[in-house]
Amino acid sequence: MNNLYSNIMDPILPKQFDKNEIYTIVITIFVLSLLYYLLKRERQLSALEVFSVYLFNLFLTTTLESLFAEPPLDMYDTIDYAHAAEIFDVILQTLVYPPPIVIAIYFYSKYQPNWLIYTLCWGMILTTLELISLQFNLFQFKNWTSLYSFFFYVFIMALNILFFTKVRSVTKFIPHKYLR
């Protein structure tokens, strides 16, 4: 039984619990708390919009992380392993990556800024957050650069604004009592 446990758990547990796992826990608490605070403070997004954007970004992060971090592209590594299956990778993909995009969509909904300037600004914000994460060894770039990240995040933000706009246009036909 112990060997079975070891065969299952060893590949997904951190090699050692160090600064990248601590940073992951801290950033998880921070982004989830900020998202919760914003959504409770002032409802800019319906529950359906939040859920839709969150799920859309969960889909994007899991598929694109696999595409870019795994062979054949293998552009970077995350956390402790060359594969994206460590338990802290799962935490990052499900609890850390989607909330900043939901937060960005929250402010987009609230202030309705110029979408191009907004996507460029959020591209810079997300790239800056990634640069901070590099200091905690969350990523180890191989054939990837922060410039790629910037363009990638601009694309992701534009895609999310388009997605959110479509979701909002559909939700206006749903009775209000089902959206809150």
Encode pLDDT of 16-55 as tens digits. 788 888 999 999 999 999 999 999 999 899 999 999 999 9
Q: Strands 139-141, 76-78: parallel, antiparallel or unpaired by DSSP?
A: antiparallel
Q: What is the three-class DSSP state of 8?
A: helix
The structure's pTM equals 0.89
pLDDT of residue 82: 62
pLDDT in tens, 98-146: 999 999 999 999 999 999 999 999 999 999 999 999 999 888 899 999 9
Per the CB < 8 A criterion, the answer to whether 146 and 76 are in contact is no
